[in-house]
Amino acid sequence: MTAGLATRVLTADTETIGAAARLIVDGGLVAFPTETVYGLGADATNGSAVAKLYAAKRRPSFNPLIAHVSDLAAARALARFDNDAENLAMAFWPGPLTLVVAKAPGCPVADLATAGLDTIAVRVPAHPVARDLLAAVGRPVVAPSANRSGHVSPTKAEHVLADLAGRIDLVLDAGATTVGVESTIVGALGRATVLLRPGGLPRGDIERVLGRPLAEPPARTASADDDEDGMLAPGMLASHYAPRTRLRLGAIDIRAGEALLAFGPAPPNGAEQAIARRSLSERGDLVEAASNLFSHLRALDGAGAATIAVMPVPHEGLGEAINDRLTRAAAPR
Ligand code: TXA
Ligand code: MG
């Protein structure tokens, strides 16, 4: 069991990345930055390391994990890419895109990591620390967001510690992540190519490369987190990313006792009575808003408000992923 570890935090550099890679190869758990959010990495080929990872996150079930690799060549050892998957990988890797594709025969990833499915989620991250780490490990690394199951994803090393201190070996600290929401997940399984989770790569960019709209998944969309979804319906939990405080979305005024999560230049009516206040982006920039989303939610969650009032965020570009996370965080639970 991982509880009771002394979790070290080290500034990411050549030496500490090398040490982190050795820890992973030895079966340890290492949180590291990607351009989207911090991930909790384990050797994807080591079933007991993967089991330890689920336990460290206090994940109630074995929802499948994303295998991170350093390039498309390494990805081909894990999975079969159809035409669409091939085109998307070429266009957007390294970057905030995860592809769910058919597992290759002889794929070395532990069955526990894919929850026994015959598909696998694969991603090549762009963050230089993630890239150096993956190159040094030389094996696929599974990495869910490095938060306690059900919590907001971490965009800073301190968020990782707040959730996982004492349960993992190491946090590689490289400051705040740039994208701030998780990767976009696209399923490319030879049938329709579907958007499973909106994320850091806007839908429009993907559709431009495909030359047609993405299909909607058959049931509900995949969850951006990894809670009680079970193996048969991975990533389909509506409520997650839960701040403890209730969220009121689309707020155009502020009521007594509320904290304010603002967007854009114009404050809502009654903003001056908010008991705490953060702005996703004063200039109304969706890229900036995505990068601030989770750290502002964490900050406001700690303010002791009854409710966090969230101003409307336009549903375009990264706004689709932002609204998806906000809706899930606001879902009753
Ligand atoms: O940006 C990200 O994607 C971050 C960084 C660390 O890479 N990772 C991340 O992982 O968000 P996680 O475990 O928090 O979310 C992965 C999602 C889950 O909802 C899971 O159900 C889904 O991917 N998933 C994984 N394998 C799948 C599969 N074979 N089919 C469908 N969904 C899958
Ligand atoms: Mg997650």
What is the percent of the chain with per-residue pLDDT over 70, rounded to a whole number? Answer: 91
Q: Does the beta carbon of 43 sit less than 6 angstroms from any atom of ligand 1?
A: no
- Say if 220 falls within a structural domain: no
Write the burial class of residue 218 (CB in 10 Å: 0-12 exposed, 13-18 middle, 19+ buried).
exposed
Residues 160 and 271 in one domain: no
Q: Note the pLDDT tens digit of each residue in 181-237.
A: 999 999 999 878 999 999 999 999 999 999 999 998 876 444 444 443 332 334 444
Q: Note the pLDDT tens digit of each residue in 129-140.
A: 999 999 999 999
pLDDT for position 233: 35
Calculate how far, in angstroms, residue 239's C-alpha sits from the geometric centre of ligand 1: 16
Instruction: Answer yes or no: pTM beyond 0.75.
Output: yes
Q: Does the beta carbon of 150 sit less than 6 angstroms from any atom of ligand 1?
A: no
Look at residue 279 and tell me whether its pLDDT is greater than 60: yes
Residue 20 banded pLDDT, cuts 50, 70, 90: very high
Q: Does the beta carbon of 185 sit less than 6 angstroms from any atom of ligand 1?
A: yes
The string of DSSP codes covering 181-231 is: SPPEEEEESSS-EEEEE--SS-HHHHHHHHTSPPBPPSSSPPPSS-STTTT
Q: Report CA dihedral (122, 126, 130, 131) to the nearest 10 degrees.
A: 90
The domain that holds 35 is classified in CATH as 3.90.870.10
In angstroms, the CA 259 to CA 211 distance is: 43
Residues 204 and 253 in one domain: no
Calculate how far, in angstroms, residue 152's C-alpha sits from the geometric centre of ligand 2: 8
Calculate how far, in angstroms, residue 194's C-alpha sits from the geometric centre of ligand 1: 15
Q: Number of folded domains in the chain?
A: 2
Q: Are strands 193-197 and 97-103 parallel, antiparallel or unpaired?
A: unpaired
- Say if 240 falls within a structural domain: no
Q: Does the beta carbon of 88 sit less than 6 angstroms from any atom of ligand 1?
A: no
- Say if 62 falls within a structural domain: yes
Work out the number of other CB atoms within 10 angstroms of the CB of residue 46. 23
Residues 128 and 273 in one domain: no
Residues 206 and 250 in one domain: no
pLDDT for position 177: 98
In angstroms, the CA 67 to CA 141 distance is: 5
Domain span at residue 202 reads 8-210
- Say if 228 falls within a structural domain: no
Q: Note the pLDDT tens digit of each residue in 65-114.
A: 999 999 999 999 999 999 999 999 999 999 999 999 999 999 999 988 99
Nearest CA to ligand 1 atom 10: 144
In angstroms, the CA 32 to CA 95 distance is: 16
- Say if 263 falls within a structural domain: yes
Q: Are strands 258-262 and 307-310 parallel, antiparallel or unpaired?
A: parallel
